[in-house]
Amino acid sequence: MILQARILYFIKVSCAVVILCYFVFLPPSPLLQQNESIQEFIHRERAELADLVQERINALQNPDDCAKAKKLVCMVHSNCGFGCTVHHIVYCLMTGYMTNRTVILNLKQLYKGVPWNHVFLPLSSTCLEGSGISYGVWGGGGSNISAQVVKVSTFRTMISNKESPWEALRPTRFPPEFESRLGKVSNDPLIWWAGQFMAYVMRLRPDTEKSIREAKRKMREGMRYNDSSIIPIGIHVRRTDKLIKEAEYYPLKAYLSHVERHLRLREKIEGKAISGHIFLASDEPKVIEEARKLEKNSCKWKLWANESIAKDAEKVNNRFRSGMLGILMDVMLLADCDFVVCTFSSSICKLVAELKEVDDAKDYRGEVVSLDDPFSFFDFNTTV
């Protein structure tokens, strides 16, 4: 599996080279503005596309007349972890986008300590009730599909129903107007696309945002972000319940080998000594203890970790109490690192990649390496 990860990393870098060659060796494109560099064009185009998606989501989620709006009511359950749950919500939001419906979340089955809306902003500020004149059930026959309000009882109902006409409503492709543009400015269009919806779902309430901002400040000070000879690196190690049936075990040294390879590469590129400060996030506190021991024998990297978060995350049934805030903190701090090693079999790893991709201040290319699976978003067709 490690060999597979290396191959995927090579393909990702190759795609970035292809995009560069597309602009370098072709005649000047009418898309480029006067005196605009390729990099400036990419940033401008990505920003324009992001604004377009966010404006459309916001308009759809805040209709002029909520009573008349078509709605998709999604029941959100807490039968999986934070990363899994937030991806289910994103899938519902994507479905609403593709079907021109306002998404209403039913969170009654999710609250187990810290209510979702105490951490994140609601999906709408004007339309929060799933009421209407006619009602239907996702996957039902007859007039269900044309009802003003369509209800989804479980996420599995939505993802597994592949019968006509519901199959055509699932978000399995990019909208036509985005296909050609996305391929020119991102070597991972699917991550960018999923990231746009994730960014909307994960808009933080002011008090949560303040806590995240303070945690980032402490991490940046501790990891010396202002020192160009030190690279901030993130590692996410998922253990505990994930290893029971969903993922393969990888030793910590497998993650660190990618870190050391990246540091050697940066030294060759920049022509000077480079070291790394590692933010290690894990649901298993023993991983951090192991890293402390390995740190003593390394001259290339130092560790920065939060053991209290790991102890909360270790308790599987604590996901939506203090553990929820702890995992959210992990995600935001990992996304703030320049280079991340994780496993895409974990939804947290996917979430970090998505948030990094929509951060226009960074270039995602090559910044997230997965030891196991390639990135995927349910049954989305990645062809552009």
Show the domains of the chain with their CATH numbers: 62-172 (no CATH), 204-370 (3.40.50)
State the burial class of residue 231 (Cβ atoms within 10 Å of its Cβ: 0-12, 13-18, 19+). buried
Considering only residues 383 and 162, tell me which one the structure prediction assigns the higher pLDDT. Answer: 162
Tokens of 101: 């419906």
Averaged pLDDT, 75-103: 89
Q: Going by C-beta distance under 8 Å and a sequence separation of 6 or more, which residues neighbour residue 300?
A: 260, 263, 275, 276
The phi and psi torsions of 75 (rounded to 5 degrees) equal: -80, 120
The pLDDT score that the predictor gives to residue 283 is 78
Is the distance from CB of 139 to CB of 108 less than 8 angstroms?
Answer: no
Closest CA to 227 of 273, 292, 260: 273
pLDDT of residue 249: 83
Cα 190 from Cα 187, distance rounded (Å):
9
pLDDT per position as a tens digit, 285-310: 888 889 989 988 887 888 876 555 54
Confidence band for 26, pLDDT divided at 50, 70 and 90: very low
Helices of type H across the chain: 2-25, 38-61, 82-99, 155-160, 176-185, 189-201, 206-222, 242-245, 252-270, 285-295, 307-314, 322-335, 347-358
pLDDT reported for residue 319: 43
226-236: pLDDT as tens digits: 788 888 999 99
pLDDT tens by residue, 130-173: 999 999 988 877 678 889 999 988 877 777 766 667 777 778 78
From the centroid of its chain, how far is CA 190?
11
What percentage of the chain has pLDDT greater than the value 90?
34
Q: Which residues face 106 on adjacent strands?
A: 75
The two beta strands, 339-342 and 230-237, are parallel
In the chain, what is the straight-line distance between the N-terminal and C-terminal CA atoms, in Å? 27
Average pLDDT over residues 34-43: 74
User: Looking at the predicted structure, is the pLDDT value of residue 361 above 70?
Assistant: no
Q: Is the pLDDT of residue 23 over 50?
A: no
In the predicted model, what is the mean pLDDT of residues 174-203? 86
Residue 30's pLDDT band (cuts 50, 70, 90): very low
The pLDDT of residue 184 is: 77
| Average pLDDT value for the chain | 80
**The pLDDT of residue 362 is above 60:** no
Can you tell me whether residue 233 is helix, strand or coil? Answer: strand
Residue among 363, 39, 45 nearest 188 (CA): 363
Q: Which of 280, 236, 272, 265 is nearest to 371 (CA)?
A: 236
Cβ within 8 Å of residue 29, ≥6 positions away:
23
Query: pLDDT band for position 195 (50/70/90)?
Result: very high
Say what percent of the chain tops pLDDT 70: 77
Residue 171, pLDDT score: 80
Does residue 43 surpass a pLDDT of 90?
Answer: no
Does residue 77 carry a pLDDT above 50? Answer: yes
List C-alpha distances in Å: 320 to 83, 97, 243, 289, 336. 11, 27, 20, 25, 23
Q: What is the C-alpha separation between 343 and 320, in angstroms, rounded? A: 22
Tell whether omega for the bond before 165 is within 30 degrees of 0, i.e. cis: yes
Dump pLDDT digits (tens) for 237-276: 987 655 545 568 889 999 999 999 999 999 998 899 998 8
SS3 content of the chain, % helix, strand, coil (to 5): 50, 10, 35
The region of weakest confidence among 205-214, 299-308, 359-368 is 359-368
Report the range out of 29-38, 202-211, 309-318 with the highest average pLDDT.
202-211
